Amino acid sequence: MFIPLLAQAADAAAATPPPAKIDYPVGTPQWKGNALNELFTLQFSQMDPAEWEYAAYQLGLRAVYVLVLLTLAWTLSSWAASIVRAALTRVKFDETLTLFMSTLVRWTILMLAALSCLSYFGVQTTSFAALIGAAGLAIGLAFQGTLSNFAAGAMLLIFRPYKVGDTVNVASYTGKVAEIELFTTAIDTSDNRRIIVPNSSIFGAVIENITYHAVRRADVNVGTAYSADIDQTRAILDKAVRSVVLVVPAPAPEVILTDLGASSVNWQVRGWAKKESFGDAKQAIIRAVKMELDAARISIPFPQLDLHLDPPGPEPAPTPAPPPEPVRWAPKISNT
């Protein structure tokens, strides 16, 4: 049913003669507009020699304009990219993000100039905008995970929760940040392993920057015997933590009585050290606490197991066997 109707419509369209050309006076704005319209719509068969001459002249002028515009756009884009790069470098911005921003500025200017040149030749740029939008949507759906890493990387570079050289705990990994890129972050662990973590796993979770502050507190837990004097023990522990060279005077060290355990009096010795020497300072505090307690003859209780063996007693007398039951004989009765 529909095929005959389509065939009739095609025949009617083919039989319809093209609209008659309106002859405007040569040189008038209507004539010039008609000549350019026939050129851009590829209606070459309807153009006369005068229109060809005018169209060629206009094409030459527009070609010169396009060359000048593209040259200026190329120069301006390079100049703008250099300004952006220099400005961001001056404020000590991240190098990766600096290169990205300068490249983005350059190609944005070049794209705008190219669209302007196409519109000057009569090309409808709205179709290109729709095409670019559709392509962007398709690319965004195809690279959803990659773009999420890119967005997270941009946020990390802008807000800077950590920087290269910081020790962090992110995505269940602890180590020193080696590189921060737009898609991933490289972390070197304490045993010299390189961990590459996607930025989306970092920015959407808790970020612990261990070396963010200049000083850190080292906590050392120790238990002493109940027989030791409380005030003497506190003084000895305070002397031990203050004797460590790597412990800074401010904030002041502390000795805290935490609780009374099942077999020991529990203390916590707190000393502050610079982040660069935190590990060495904690080891030195542990050593000083042990040596001072040993010198004061204060013992550190540890779990013990006492085994008590009871001596063997006399063996119990054997139980006598029960006497045998007597045998009873029943008389035999005969009927004879």
Which domain range does residue 229 map to?
A: 215-295
Buried b (16+ CB within 10 A) or exposed e, 183-210: bbbbbeeeeeeebebbbbbbbeeeeeeb
Higher local confidence (pLDDT), 150 or 272: 272
CATH classification of the domain holding 111: 1.10.287.1260
Higher local confidence (pLDDT), 99 or 21: 99
Whether 139 has a pLDDT exceeding 70, the answer reads: no
Q: Of 63, 48, 51, nearest to 27 (Cα)?
A: 51
Higher local confidence (pLDDT), 129 or 215: 215
Q: Give percent above pLDDT 90 in the chain.
A: 36
Does 103 share its domain with 180? no
Taking residues 6-25, report their average pLDDT: 51
Which residue, of 137, 152, 170, is where some domain finishes? 137
Bridge partners for 26 per DSSP: none
| Of the candidate ranges 5-14, 76-85, 112-121, 259-268, the one whose mean pLDDT is the lowest | 5-14
CATH classification of the domain holding 240: 3.30.70.100
Reading phi first (left if > 0) and then psi (alpha if -120 to 50, else beta), residue 45 is in: alpha
Average pLDDT, the chain: 79
In a domain, 81, yes or no: yes
How much is the pLDDT for 120?
67
In a domain, 250, yes or no: yes
How much is the pLDDT for 116?
78
Taking residues 103-116, report their average pLDDT: 82
What confidence tens digit (pLDDT) does each residue in 33-47 have? 555 555 555 555 555
Does 43 share its domain with 122? yes
Reading phi first (left if > 0) and then psi (alpha if -120 to 50, else beta), residue 326 is in: beta
What confidence tens digit (pLDDT) does each residue in 276-288 have? 999 999 999 999 9
Does 46 share its domain with 126? yes
Whether 125 has a pLDDT exceeding 90, the answer reads: no
In a domain, 149, yes or no: no
Whether 176 has a pLDDT exceeding 60, the answer reads: yes
DSSP 188: E
Higher local confidence (pLDDT), 26 or 77: 77
How much is the pLDDT for 13?
44
Q: Which residues contact 171 (CB under 8 A, 6 or more apart)?
A: 197, 201, 202, 205
Does 289 share its domain with 183? no
How much is the pLDDT for 186?
93
Q: Of 133, 146, 151, nearest to 203 (Cα)?
A: 151
How much is the pLDDT for 281?
95
In a domain, 112, yes or no: yes
Does 264 share its domain with 222? yes
In a domain, 90, yes or no: yes
Does 33 share its domain with 106? yes
Listed ranges 96-105, 236-245, 318-327; the one with the highest mean pLDDT: 236-245
In a domain, 332, yes or no: no
Does 51 share its domain with 113? yes
In a domain, 72, yes or no: yes
Taking residues 156-166, report their average pLDDT: 88
Does 175 share its domain with 221? no
Does 178 share its domain with 219? no
In a domain, 129, yes or no: yes
How much is the pLDDT for 94?
65
Calpha distance 192→310 (Å, rounded): 56
How much is the pLDDT for 67?
83
Does 68 share its domain with 133? yes
Which residue, of 137, 152, 181, is where some domain finishes? 137
Does 71 share its domain with 173? no
Number of domains making up the chain: 3
Does 274 share its domain with 172? no
